[in-house]
Amino acid sequence: MDNTGESGRKLTETAGENVPATVSNLDSHWPEILDTVRQRVGHQTFQTWYRPLAPLAGDAGGLQVSCPNHFFLDWFSEHQLHHLNDAGTAYFGHEVLFELVVSNEVVKLGVPGPEAAPAPETVVSRPAATTVPVETIVMPERPQTNLNPDYVFSNFVVGSGTDLAYAAATAISDNPGHHFNPLFIHGGVGLGKTHLMQAIGNRIAIQRPQARILYTTAENFMNDLVKSIQESHTPDFKLRYRSVDVLLVDDVAFMAGKESTQEEFFHTFNALYNFKKQIVFTSDRSPKEITRLEERLRSRFEWGLITDIQPPNLETRIAILRRKVDINNIYIADDVIEFIAEHITDNIRRLEGALVRLLAFASLTGREITLEMASEALSSFFQGTSTGPVKIADVMEVTADVHGFSVDQLKSKRRTQDLARARQIAMHLARELTGASLNKIGRSFGNRDHSTVAYACKKISDEMETDPRFRGAVRDLMERIRKRS
């Protein structure tokens, strides 16, 4: 109360000694109560925790104030409410106690507001039934909707590999938080996961302008967390992620092995899920295939609907190219489009890349786009489709390293259990990634027989078939090896 003496006195005089603390006039006293609080708690805390509050008028209860959500309510009650009570007490000149109410529950109580109550679905994001303008109760430091406006459903070509994911995505956009929560979309690189996920956000944003939609990648989430810890702003961090209506988290496999991130995300998930906020995940693999993931988080990923997306077939690839050409108002003959679609089979981003390259080539050379010209312009691009050749030596080095052995040990005759297993995995990967013959692989692994290699390949692929986690681990290894070559 150090610096409230003067203002407290002034306020008391203004308000009169015996101002009844009824809700019907709390509204008119609120700005001055806030002034008192601001002096006590400082600007940053004030912005974070007091801007979102709004006095409730018209209720016969006590001094009721609305806040955005339960997380806010809990945190505020524990850390800030006493400041508010003190400020109110100083202002009115007698002890008062404030009560916080979650804003969307205010509507359920039927408290009349200055405007017609919004439709039930929109209530979730909007403190209604208050007497202050809506702008003043927007969440603090609310992240801007950072969605790419091009990633909408109408730009997404549905094929047999994406029809289920597409159906689920549109269903939850129309009714977020009810069906399929969370929605987990997984599939290979460049197949449209981010596009679909953001299309959900874009559609919800149009249908429910007040909904708070947050798109983030798992990597961003982690960086934000680290930053908030470094700067001691963890409450702000928690509030930012827990006060949204729709949370879109891209590439969650990134969380593998990052324990603190998983821990924090687990609580974020629970906070949102419990209040039926829609959550969407994408990943390059299914939850079961993500290694080094806490079991409780894995199970949350699996609670809703898991859907995969598969590479498009030829017809879909042609349709996607046509759509891109139409959107950009250019003309490219059918045979050229088919030519591109035949050559790039497993990545739509590369399909787009080929088109861009073709157009660039045409404009630089001034040549007409014909089949012949396309094959000239794109030949090197097509060659780049597969990554550089992987060597057996790369496979051995990375596999040995990951398992804590040396390459010499992999080649040796020793057969301790762990070493034999690492050797089998390496043989399988050598076969998969280099395409070398069984004989050649056998020779590289300390002159072993081709039947030994064949046995190892079969054993490992059988195990991958039945054990998704093992499959995930082997896939991780594959990626590491590919990155080296």
Residues that bind ligand ADP (CB under 6 A): 155-157, 162, 189-195, 320, 348-349, 352
The site partner of 162 among Mg ion, ligand ADP, none (C-beta below 5 to 8 Å per kind) is ligand ADP
The site partner of 297 among ligand ADP, Mg ion, none (C-beta below 5 to 8 Å per kind) is none
200 closest CA partner among 162, 148, 163, 240: 148
List the interface residues with Mg ion, window 58-77 (CB under 5 A).
none
- Nearer residue to ligand ADP within complex by CB, 162 or 278: 162
Minimum CB separation of residue 235 from Mg ion in Å reads 30
The stretch among 185-193, 210-218, 336-344, 406-414 that binds Mg ion (CB under 5 A) is 185-193
The site partner of 348 among ligand ADP, Mg ion, none (C-beta below 5 to 8 Å per kind) is ligand ADP
In angstroms, the CA 144 to CA 268 distance is 19
**Which residues face 306 on adjacent strands?**
184
- Nearer residue to Mg ion within complex by CB, 52 or 182: 182
Minimum CB separation of residue 189 from ligand ADP in Å reads 5
224 closest CA partner among 260, 194, 196: 260
The stretch among 96-104, 129-137, 189-197, 361-369 that binds Mg ion (CB under 5 A) is 189-197
- Nearer residue to ligand ADP within complex by CB, 139 or 185: 185
Whether 430 contacts 396, CB under 8 Å: yes
- Nearer residue to ligand ADP within complex by CB, 285 or 428: 285
What are the backbone angles phi and psi of residue 60, rounded to the nearest 5°? -80, 0
Q: Within 13 Å of residue 63, how many CA atoms lie on the same side as its CB?
A: 21
The site partner of 320 among Mg ion, ligand ADP, none (C-beta below 5 to 8 Å per kind) is ligand ADP
Minimum CB separation of residue 194 from ligand ADP in Å reads 3
The site partner of 432 among ligand ADP, Mg ion, none (C-beta below 5 to 8 Å per kind) is none
424 touches Mg ion (CB under 5 A) = no
Whether 316 contacts 161, CB under 8 Å: yes
- Nearer residue to Mg ion within complex by CB, 186 or 193: 193
Minimum CB separation of residue 375 from ligand ADP in Å reads 23
Residue that is written with structure tokens 């912005």 in the block:
47
- Nearer residue to Mg ion within complex by CB, 194 or 262: 194
In angstroms, the CA 354 to CA 378 distance is 7
Minimum CB separation of residue 282 from Mg ion in Å reads 6
Whether 51 contacts 132, CB under 8 Å: no
Upstream peptide bond of 182 is cis (omega within 30 degrees of 0)? yes
- Nearer residue to Mg ion within complex by CB, 151 or 339: 151
Tokens standing for residue 6 = 């003067």
194 touches Mg ion (CB under 5 A) = yes
Give the count of beta carbons closer than 10 Å to the beta carbon of residue 145: 17
Q: Between β-strands 54-55 and 63-67, what pairing exists: parallel, antiparallel or unpaired? A: antiparallel
Tokens standing for residue 280 = 């969407």
Q: Which residues contact 114 (CB under 8 A, 6 or more apart)?
A: 130, 131
Minimum CB separation of residue 481 from ligand ADP in Å reads 21
Minimum CB separation of residue 131 from Mg ion in Å reads 44
Pseudo-torsion of CA 324, 326, 328, 332, nearest 10°? 90
Minimum CB separation of residue 379 from ligand ADP in Å reads 22
Minimum CB separation of residue 191 from Mg ion in Å reads 9
- Nearer residue to Mg ion within complex by CB, 11 or 249: 249
State the chain's maximal CA–CA distance in angstroms: 98
How far, rounded to the nearest angstrom, does the alpha carbon of residue 290 sit from its chain's CA centroid?
16
The stretch among 98-106, 118-126, 188-196, 294-302 that binds Mg ion (CB under 5 A) is 188-196
- Residue at shortest CB range from ligand ADP: 192
- Nearer residue to Mg ion within complex by CB, 193 or 277: 193
The site partner of 190 among ligand ADP, Mg ion, none (C-beta below 5 to 8 Å per kind) is ligand ADP
In angstroms, the CA 161 to CA 168 distance is 13
Helices (H), 308-466: 314-327, 334-343, 348-365, 371-383, 392-403, 407-411, 417-434, 438-444, 450-466
Minimum CB separation of residue 179 from ligand ADP in Å reads 22
In angstroms, the CA 397 to CA 180 distance is 43
In angstroms, the CA 172 to CA 170 distance is 6
**For Mg ion, how many residues bind (rule: CB under 5 A)?**
2
283 touches Mg ion (CB under 5 A) = no
- Nearer residue to Mg ion within complex by CB, 346 or 432: 346
Tokens standing for residue 447 = 């002159």
- Nearer residue to ligand ADP within complex by CB, 321 or 441: 321
Minimum CB separation of residue 475 from Mg ion in Å reads 17
Q: Between β-strands 98-102 and 183-187, what pairing exists: parallel, antiparallel or unpaired? A: unpaired
What are the residues binding Mg ion (CB under 5 A)?
A: 193-194
